[in-house]
Chains A and B, each alone.
Chain A
């Protein structure tokens, strides 16, 4: 695995743990289909929470959350529809969150949670 993928994997682990600390239940991790991938799918027992996790080791190239643009958001929406269809969920409220993880070497990891980001 390339270094960036190791970092991304670590970020997703941290993000999943963070969500569980918040009382959410993680339903899927790295769910893939033809259209793309969902990093984390969770639920807070009222609605489905689809999370995009962005991990960076520094903010030298910008904040992690800035990398989530309109195109990325649109793709996540499409994949979320596929997830609902694949799991035979009839109708439910869906919230799209972004978790920005900064894992700088030798510093405590920070997780910033943008609820209902798009």
Chain B
């Protein structure tokens, strides 16, 4: 039959689309046409595919070959189509039976000698193939660990074009992915290591329980970074579905760690303050790639030395913070990456940052400007601010510190309470609940909100700030095991967002 059909997957961000590749062989002088919006890398695959087929000892049809990628309007990029293109050509020249290609997704880049190389985005590609009703998939053998994370589709790993062809012709088996291991990642460091810092520990506990963002201010060496690293230990493990979503983002970024385990530990991402906009929110030409905010999806984005970050970078965080996703528009389309992370900002109180604040030599204006670099709109989204103090005695603080397990138990109980309350409305944490709902359906009795009214009247609090304080108050109530916050808890919530603390 001079016509054959194979399937592969085009990725647009983390969304995959199954692409049908039709090959027509014959009817003219030897020529190789590839139609259907291929990009430069895909156009080059013509030469790779030909060399790989010849060097695998197969016969390249010396006739006119037309390959059509459909849907033709979708921009297709990258080298992951090589295997499917080669199989379509060989199907059309009669080497492969069409029955072997039906319902099968083929992914992988071909080396000139016919070896099959791994490509980025195998995981989201397979997810899309499965959702499109594909029965089985052939992927590069080196991508099997990644492919193991997808169930509901039969995945086979081939090391070379020859192996893939033998498999598609029938009568040969290929390696299958091994069982998925969970929880292989090491446990994050323990909270018991942090000395003292009762306020900050409490803030971190509240943040973990309610999904709030937090700012830690204190001199160097007081444990800001230590505390932030221990934050992820307090968060609940990711569900299988969440972990898969995160793994898809990592796969697109080319950052899926080897080892084959689906990590259920929430991610901890700590970019340096010299990072570029593209590294932080995602970017790149053509189709944008995910940045730090998406790699921190469902985990913690830790920004150390927050005032040192460029103002435009910090303000770029505002939309992902509000919406839980980033949409990046580029010439070849708009992609959407998830970015529901918890922000932990850390800052020194001033540029000179002595161990004890009284030793500060900064002029007051410099001091004021330093934290002023964190813009108001950004800080409005940070529910919790905690001051950290120099450690005054090593002996005094030992033994008393709670470990991660103890705090995590309280956090999980509070999260469960919040989840039960919001379940019917579709939210999971207090931080996700819109302000109007807190002010109307779940309005607190008048005496409880008195501190907020006072703050609003005095101009110390914005309306959005009041909403945030309400959310923190609900989290405090969850942690305390009460069914709603009272005036005391609202006061406590306000303590953690007092600008003087920062």
**Which residues on A are within 8 Å of B, measured CB to CB?**
63, 65-66, 68, 98, 100, 112, 114, 116-118
Q: How many whole Å from B382's CB to the nearest CB in chain A? A: 65
On chain A, the residues within 8 Å of B62 by CB distance are 63, 65-66, 100, 112
On chain A, the residues within 8 Å of B63 by CB distance are 114
Listed by A's residue number, 20 A-B pairs whose Cβ atoms lie within 8 Å are: A63-B30, A63-B62, A65-B29, A65-B30, A65-B62, A66-B29, A66-B30, A66-B62, A68-B29, A98-B29, A100-B62, A112-B62, A114-B28, A114-B29, A114-B63, A116-B28, A117-B28, A117-B29, A118-B28, A118-B29
For B63-84 the 0/1 string (1 means CB < 8 A from A) is: 1000000000000000000000
On chain A, the residues within 8 Å of B30 by CB distance are 63, 65-66
In chain B, positions 8-45 with a C-beta closer than 8 Å to chain A are 28-30
On chain A, the residues within 8 Å of B28 by CB distance are 114, 116-118
On chain B, the residues within 8 Å of A117 by CB distance are 28-29
With the chains together, A112 CA to B63 CA distance in Å? 10
Beyond A63-B30, A65-B29, list 18 extra A-B contacts (CB 8 Å): A63-B62, A65-B30, A65-B62, A66-B29, A66-B30, A66-B62, A68-B29, A98-B29, A100-B62, A112-B62, A114-B28, A114-B29, A114-B63, A116-B28, A117-B28, A117-B29, A118-B28, A118-B29
Q: How many whole Å from A39's CB to the nearest CB in chain B? A: 15
B contact residues, total (Cβ < 8 Å): 5
Nearest A residue to B26 via CB reads A114
With the chains together, A99 CA to B63 CA distance in Å? 12
Q: How many whole Å from B63's CB to the nearest CB in chain A? A: 8
Q: How many whole Å from B126's CB to the nearest CB in chain A? A: 37
Q: Which of B29, B30, B62, B63 has the most CB of A within 10 A?
A: B29
With the chains together, A65 CA to B26 CA distance in Å? 13
With the chains together, A68 CA to B29 CA distance in Å? 8
On chain A, the residues within 8 Å of B29 by CB distance are 65-66, 68, 98, 114, 117-118
Q: Which of B30, B62, B63 has the most CB of A within 10 A?
A: B30
On chain B, the residues within 8 Å of A66 by CB distance are 29-30, 62
Q: How many whole Å from A71's CB to the nearest CB in chain B? A: 13
Q: How many whole Å from B119's CB to the nearest CB in chain A? A: 30
With the chains together, A114 CA to B30 CA distance in Å? 9
With the chains together, A118 CA to B30 CA distance in Å? 11
With the chains together, A98 CA to B27 CA distance in Å? 12
Nearest A residue to B62 via CB reads A63
With the chains together, A112 CA to B29 CA distance in Å? 11
Nearest A residue to B63 via CB reads A114
Q: How many whole Å from B271's CB to the nearest CB in chain A? A: 51
With the chains together, A97 CA to B124 CA distance in Å? 48
In chain B, positions 352-398 with a C-beta closer than 8 Å to chain A are none
Closest 7 CB pairs of A and B: A63-B62, A66-B30, A117-B29, A65-B30, A65-B29, A68-B29, A117-B28
Nearest A residue to B31 via CB reads A66
On chain B, the residues within 8 Å of A118 by CB distance are 28-29
With the chains together, A8 CA to B343 CA distance in Å? 76
Nearest B residue to A112 via CB reads B62
Q: How many whole Å from A28's CB to the nearest CB in chain B? A: 22
With the chains together, A98 CA to B62 CA distance in Å? 12
With the chains together, A118 CA to B28 CA distance in Å? 7
With the chains together, A63 CA to B62 CA distance in Å? 7
With the chains together, A96 CA to B62 CA distance in Å? 18
On chain B, the residues within 8 Å of A114 by CB distance are 28-29, 63
On chain B, the residues within 8 Å of A65 by CB distance are 29-30, 62
With the chains together, A114 CA to B61 CA distance in Å? 13
For B380-423 the 0/1 string (1 means CB < 8 A from A) is: 00000000000000000000000000000000000000000000
Q: How many whole Å from B84's CB to the nearest CB in chain A? A: 24
With the chains together, A4 CA to B28 CA distance in Å? 26
